[in-house]
């Protein structure tokens, strides 16, 4: 089940390793969008993923401009991450989400510097993308 989840995340364009994302961002001259999510318990996280991140508008923009990283914190035992991935997500949360907000979406440059944060559900894909474009 864990392997299928990781493969799905990679197929969907979302990675789970910030260091890989930073290298990709540097090589492709893109920004990094880091999303903290509780995929099996956080209603606003699930809604943000469905309404914004899975929209055609977002996916087209992201493909050309962003490297996507999701730090997921599932609660159900059947969805638990591998220990090494959980440790990576915990380290990301310590660095970028010390208040434990869900969802929290963070725009980073290739060095990992925070450029912008969105706290909670974002109802407008267009507005979010416009705000990201400001940093391009």
Q: Which residues pair with 32 in a beta bridge?
A: 67, 108
pLDDT over 50 at 7, yes or no: no
The domains of the chain, with CATH numbers, are: 2-133 (3.40.30.10)
- The mean pLDDT of the chain is 93
pTM score, whole prediction: 0.91
**Mean pLDDT value across residues 89-114:** 98
Sheet holding 14-15, edge to edge: 14-15, 66-72, 31-37, 104-108, 114-119
pLDDT over 60 at 5, yes or no: no
- pLDDT by residue (tens digit) across 52-92? 999 999 999 999 999 999 999 999 999 999 999 999 999 99
pLDDT over 70 at 40, yes or no: yes
At 12, is the pLDDT very low, low, confident or very high (cuts 50, 70, 90)?
Answer: low
The whole-number pLDDT of residue 110 equals 97
Query: Using CB atoms within 10 A of its CB, is residue 63 exposed (0-12), middle (13-18) or buried (19+)?
Result: exposed
The whole-number pLDDT of residue 49 equals 98
d(CA 38, CA 60): 24
């Amino acid at each position: 089940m864990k392997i299928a989840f990781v493969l799905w995340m990679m197929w969907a364009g979302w990675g789970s390793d910030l260091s890989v994302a930073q290298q990709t961002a540097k090589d492709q001259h893109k920004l990094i969008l880091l999303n903290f999510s509780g995929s099996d318990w956080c209603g606003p996280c699930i809604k943000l993923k469905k309404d914004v991140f899975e929209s055609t508008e977002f996916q087209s923009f992201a493909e050309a401009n962003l490297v996507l990283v999701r730090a997921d914190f599932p609660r159900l035992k059947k969805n638990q991450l591998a220990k090494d991935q959980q440790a990576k997500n915990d380290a990301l949360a310590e660095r970028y989400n010390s208040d434990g907000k869900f969802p929290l979406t963070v725009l980073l440059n290739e060095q990992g510097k925070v450029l912008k944060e969105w706290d909670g559900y974002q109802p407008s894909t267009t507005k979010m993308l416009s705000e990201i474009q400001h940093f391009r």
